[in-house]
Amino acid sequence: MPKGSNHTPPKWADRFLQWFCNDELLEQLQGDVHELFYWRLEEKGHSSAKRSFIWDVMRLFRWSNIKKKSKRQKLNNMGMIKNYFKIGMRNLWKQRMPSFINIIGLSLAVGCAIVVFKFVEYNYVKDDFHENLDDLFLVTHWEDLESNKGRNGGTDHVLSREILTAVPGIKASTRYNFQQLEARVEKRIKYNAALYVDPDFLNMFSFDLIEGNGNALNSADQIILDENSAKRLFGEQSAIDQPLELKIGEEWKAFTVGAVYKNKPNNSSIQIEILLNYSHLEQLLSKRDTWNTSFFIQRQEGIEQQQLVTAMDELLPLHNKDNDVNPYTYFELEPLATMANSADEMSNSVGAAPNFAPIITLTAIAGFMLLLSTLNYVNISLAMVMKRLKEIGVRKVIGGRRKQLIAQFLIENFLLCFAALILGLLFAHSFFLPGFNEIAGGDFRLEVFKNARLGLFLLGLLFFVTIASGLYPAIVASAYKPISILRKATQKRGNRLLSNIFLSFQMILAMVTIVAAVMFVYTNQVNQSLNWGYDQYNKLVFGIPGDEYRESYLEVIESDPNIVDYAGTASNIGQSLNGVEFINGDFKTYAELFSVGRKYPEVLGLELLEGRLFNDQLESDLNNKLIVNEAFLDRLQINFDPDGTSIVQDSITYQIIGVVANYHYLNPGQELRGAAMRAIPAEHYNSYLVSMVDGDIFEQRDQLRGDLQALVDEKTVGVSVQSMLFDGFYDEMIGIGNIMLFTATIAVLLAAMGLYGLVNINVTSQIKDFGIRKVLGASHMSLSKTILSKFKYVLLFAILIGCPVAVLLVGTLITDIQHYAPPVGAGPLTVSVGILLGVALFTLNLQINKVRRMNPSETLRAE
Amino acid sequence: MSKGNHIGELEELILLLVGVLRDEAYAVGVLQEMKLQTGRELNISAIHAVLNRLEEKGYVSSEMGGATQERGGRRKRFYQLTATGRQMIDQVRLVREKLYGQLNTNPIYSFA
């Protein structure tokens, strides 16, 4: 070998050789080519030697020299990986505290992610349980409407019959029309959803029969119920062969129950309720030429969708000749699997498209959680790795490759993530899902082994979390040079900055979630005491079951000593809506038009601002007079004139006689728009509003209901409490508030754990420092200051950034859900900052106490 | 081996060189010796292939040497002639000589 020569073989060729060459042969072959290179260098000069070297390497690239996976190598790997697992377990145990924090943090986030996954799955995956799923279609068509092209999920009934006879390749079909029917069982009348279908319905769709005959629909006088309907109509006794009457049109028809099916699965768009033969609808509508029906077909095997559509389109010219109002442009078959998700794209659709707002909100929350816990993890792992530098150094010196080190760290990470996943499943199963079910009213269950989608999701989540949380620390740790580790050279401080950025980010997220929770709780409180624009207390509302009861109801009302006043009405504020277009010159706007009795505004207690309310004695008030709210005037740009202000609706000119303060005819979440009341005569009343003396409103309600029920035979009388009309909305808001509280709790917990972990590692790594300072007489105060000083800027930064971000994000979110929410002001922000600081200081204090109690001799003696 | 126990010309040459080089018989050594003695310069890859083949046939045996300062501390694989290898060389030589002996040493055609 020539000494002092700078010439070396070309690196890339050398690497190439290392890469492809079988490890057992590498040493001798590489040695040979290197020796030859230096020999030639002397003999023939540099460039020639280089060329020959490359040529040699190329020639060595042959089958017998190339790396092959041998059985022995695999066995070696197994041993190594087993060893990684062992070391991983030991390390997790050795660093119990940070590992525990990581596992708990991750599992909380994983639990949330699982719940959200179930929710999103429920929203998106519909109708996937049918055996014939791939062959089932809803027939839809496109039509030219006056304004635009539109898609319609309803098919002309006559056309549907023509399709059946003219289009080949249809194995089965069913029409599907929904109607609300009165059902009579032993003189009790109940309202029920009913569906007119063809007998093939139950052959096409896969629902589970409980008892009875699945072909019952073949006879027109039998019906099929689902469990819910059977229970509602017949109670606990078996419904099979029970008689039942249904009021179809004006006629009561007698049926017997032929079969009972299990309730439809949660995610089914197709309903069961009560199924009856389609011939009844045909009889009911026999006077009409045609009507629309949802028309489902099942194709024969091997028939292409396009063949069916082409054959169906051929019927259109003839059809459109007779129906020139809304001519069909062309047909399109909507597969059952995607029917619900495209429900928004068509009119007369079956099923509901997913609701994006909760999906996005919940996904964002779960994403936040995962992000928080992953950052936590990265942060703590980075700090933990610093304690293991010697292990890395030694392993590198004895020949551990960087790849192997990364693999080892990732395997440890995998163990931890796996533990977190199991714990997360437990959390989700026993706490989060039941809680979520309660709030959202769902019926979500975890079936890990039955649901392949969930299994895949979990697997994906596991790998994602493992890589996301473990890759960066592994790469950083494995990059250290063994020399600098072993001679204890000071490590770069670059990680500090990154840790602080992560921690700040966590704190900002925690801050935002706290503000969100505080705001939702606060808004709920504000809304509970919101002025509804009228006196909602001590008032009962009930409908009149039929014209014949109007007088007898009135007698009951007048004889009830608890009733102070009453008014008849056709619209109930808080329950009814009737948006119509009002015109004032050039201004047009939609506003509510309520039809009420003349005493109604007074009994309800609307606040009169200008003009007058209706006069019970003035017959002329029944003629086109309006009482409007303030918003009505604003939106139509009119000023109230006591001598007469007029407004046009449906070509009738109304005169505005009074203006009242805005009142909540909708739940307080939504913005109040214009609303007007017109008076109607007593014969149009369909319900009564009564105001009661002070007392227990529920007792009064029950008593009144009893009195009224005595008059009515067949129907159940309902009496509602006016002040409870928006309870559904309030409950929902409390539910959202609870979700926000939960989110904030978890976010704060995660941030606190992150902080705790970091401080813990920080303190432990400087424990000797603290020991010496204690020996030298440092006060507790100064020790606390040292610890605090490292984190105070992070906290300050988080608060400074978090506040404006929270105002922006939370403000947008909350006004979207609750229009009358108070602004995100100084109050809620102060409370949130207080909570965050409190938690942070508490966390820091735990460590400070540890330092205080520490005996310096213990730490200084160690090693 | 389908070729049985016969060896080719290159195999024979390398087998001889391994024998000649004794304790210094490794791939590069063989290559250099061959160039020195016969003027033929083969590619190192070809020499490896032949040596492997000879080892498979049992004419040479090999073992890794110790680490030296040369070639970056990488060890060499040294080859040794086995008894069968030696026999083979002898046999080939015998056949050659026998055949050579049958060549007419007294030319019929004389230019005289």
pLDDT of residue A2: 44
Cα of B93 to nearest chain A Cα, Å: 31
Question: Which residue intervals of A652-766 are DSSP H helices?
Answer: 697-711, 727-765
pLDDT of residue B105: 66
| 8 Å CB contact of A60 and B70 | no
Nearest CA in chain B to A9: B71
**What single letter denotes the amino acid at residue A763?**
V
Cβ atoms of residues A649 and A581 within 8 Å? yes
Q: Which helix (H) or strand (E) holds B64?
A: strand B60-64
The Cα A99–Cα A470 span in angstroms is: 13
Cα of B39 to nearest chain A Cα, Å: 15
pLDDT top residue among B33 and A186: B33
Q: Which helix (H) or strand (E) holds A454?
A: helix A452-478
Residue B67 with chain A: CB contacts under 8 Å: none
The Cα B70–Cα A86 span in angstroms is: 41
Residue B1 — very low, low, confident or very high, per pLDDT cuts 50/70/90?
Answer: very low
Interface list for B 30-69 with A (CB within 8 A): 31-32, 43-46, 48-49, 52, 64
| 8 Å CB contact of A33 and B43 | no
Mean pLDDT within A812-833: 86
| CA A34 centroid distance within chain | 65
pLDDT tens across B35-50, in order? 999 988 888 999 999 9
The Cα A282–Cα A196 span in angstroms is: 9
Residue B44 with chain A: CB contacts under 8 Å: 32-33, 36, 56, 59-60
Q: How many CB pairs under 8 A join A and B?
A: 55
pLDDT of residue A660: 92
| 8 Å CB contact of B44 and A30 | no
Cα of B78 to nearest chain A Cα, Å: 10
Going by C-beta distance under 8 Å and a sequence separation of 6 or more, which residues neighbour residue A641?
Answer: none
Q: Is A590 left (phi over 0), alpha (psi -120 to 50) or beta?
A: beta
pLDDT higher than 70, residue A694: yes
Read off φ and ψ for residue A687, nearest 5 degrees: -160, 165
The Cα A54–Cα A59 span in angstroms is: 9
Cα of A61 to nearest chain B Cα, Å: 9
pLDDT higher than 80, residue A302: yes
The Cα A34–Cα A38 span in angstroms is: 6
Q: By C-alpha distance, which of A577, A568, A581 is closest to A652?
A: A581
| 8 Å CB contact of A32 and B44 | yes
pLDDT of residue A1: 43
Cα of B95 to nearest chain A Cα, Å: 33
pLDDT higher than 90, residue A176: yes
pLDDT of residue B4: 58
pLDDT tens across A27-45, in order? 888 888 888 888 888 888 8
Residue B2 — very low, low, confident or very high, per pLDDT cuts 50/70/90?
Answer: very low
Buried b or exposed e, range B3-20, using 16+ CB within 10 angstroms: eeeebeebbbbbbbbbbe
Mean pLDDT within A654-661: 90
Substitution target in B30, B36, B47, B48 with the highest count of A β-carbons within 10 Å is B48
| 8 Å CB contact of B71 and A34 | yes
| 8 Å CB contact of A60 and B27 | no
Residue A33 with chain B: CB contacts under 8 Å: 44
pLDDT higher than 50, residue A723: yes
Residue B76 with chain A: CB contacts under 8 Å: 28, 31-32
pLDDT of residue A759: 83
pLDDT tens across A241-254, in order? 889 999 888 888 99
pTM of the entire structure? 0.66
pLDDT tens across A114-133, in order? 988 988 888 888 888 898 88
The Cα B61–Cα B59 span in angstroms is: 7
Mean residue pLDDT of chain B comes to 85
Cα of A365 to nearest chain B Cα, Å: 59
> Torsion angle, CA of A208/A209/A215/A221, rounded to 10 degrees?
-120
Helix (H, G, I), strand (E, B) or coil at A563: strand
DSSP A698: H
Helix (H, G, I), strand (E, B) or coil at B97: helix
Q: Between the CA of residue A151 and those of A11, A147, A311, A338, what are the distances in Å?
A: 66, 13, 19, 15
pLDDT of residue B108: 59
Residue A738 — very low, low, confident or very high, per pLDDT cuts 50/70/90?
Answer: confident
Residue B90 — very low, low, confident or very high, per pLDDT cuts 50/70/90?
Answer: very high
Place of tokens 């009213």: A441
Q: By C-alpha distance, which of A194, A353, A204, A339 is closest to A278?
A: A194
Going by C-beta distance under 8 Å and a sequence separation of 6 or more, which residues neighbour residue A594?
Answer: A569, A571, A573, A576, A578, A665, A675, A676, A677, A678
Cβ atoms of residues A392 and A477 within 8 Å? yes
Q: Computed over its alpha carbons, how large is the radius of gyration of chain A?
A: 38
Mean pLDDT within A388-406: 83
Cβ atoms of residues A491 and A389 within 8 Å? yes
pLDDT higher than 50, residue A500: yes
The Cα A275–Cα A195 span in angstroms is: 5
| 8 Å CB contact of A62 and B45 | yes
> DSSP states of A42-77 as a string?
HHH-HHHHHHHHHHHHHHH-SGGGB----HHHHHHH
Share of chain A above pLDDT 90, in %: 13
DSSP B51: H
Q: Computed over its alpha carbons, how large is the radius of gyration of chain B?
A: 18
> DSSP states of A760-822 as a string?
HHHHHHTHHHHHHHHHTT--HHHHHHHHHHHHHHHHHHHHHHHHHHHHHHHHHHHHHH-TTPP
Q: Which of A88-97, A189-198, A670-679, A799-808 has the lowest mean pLDDT?
A: A88-97
Tokens representing A742?
């939960």
Mean pLDDT within A172-190: 87
Residue A61 — very low, low, confident or very high, per pLDDT cuts 50/70/90?
Answer: confident
Residue from the list B45, B52, B71 with its beta carbon closest to the beta carbon of A31: B71
Substitution target in B30, B36, B43, B45 with the highest count of A β-carbons within 10 Å is B45
Tokens representing A409?
């760290």
Residue from the list B27, B32, B75 with its beta carbon closest to the beta carbon of A27: B75
Interface list for B 16-35 with A (CB within 8 A): 26-28, 31-32
| 8 Å CB contact of B43 and A32 | no
Residue A30 in contact with partner chain B when CB distance is under 8 A? yes
The Cα A164–Cα A297 span in angstroms is: 9
Residue A36 in contact with partner chain B when CB distance is under 8 A? yes
pLDDT tens across A754-774, in order? 888 778 777 877 777 888 888
Residue A69 in contact with partner chain B when CB distance is under 8 A? no
pLDDT of residue A148: 57
Cβ atoms of residues A336 and A136 within 8 Å? yes
Residue B28 with chain A: CB contacts under 8 Å: 32, 35-36, 39
| 8 Å CB contact of A28 and B77 | yes
Share of chain A above pLDDT 70, in %: 96
pLDDT top residue among A589 and A206: A206
Mean pLDDT within A331-337: 90
Substitution target in A17, A21, A24, A32 with the highest count of B β-carbons within 10 Å is A32
State the CB neighbour count (10 A cutoff) for residue A562: 18
The Cα A411–Cα A388 span in angstroms is: 16
Mean residue pLDDT of chain A comes to 85
Going by C-beta distance under 8 Å and a sequence separation of 6 or more, which residues neighbour residue A653?
Answer: A624, A646, A647
**Beta strands at B60-64 and A222-226: parallel, antiparallel or unpaired:** unpaired
| 8 Å CB contact of B72 and A29 | no
| 8 Å CB contact of A35 and B64 | no
**Beta strands at A587-596 and B77-81: parallel, antiparallel or unpaired:** unpaired
Going by C-beta distance under 8 Å and a sequence separation of 6 or more, which residues neighbour residue A657?
Answer: A611, A612, A614, A621, A625, A626, A627
State the CB neighbour count (10 A cutoff) for residue A168: 9
Residue A63 with chain B: CB contacts under 8 Å: none
Tokens representing A476?
């950083």
pLDDT tens across A505-562, in order? 888 888 888 998 999 889 888 888 888 888 888 899 998 888 888 888 888 888 888 8
Cβ atoms of residues A567 and A688 within 8 Å? yes
Read off φ and ψ for residue A197, nearest 5 degrees: -135, 165
| 8 Å CB contact of B72 and A34 | yes
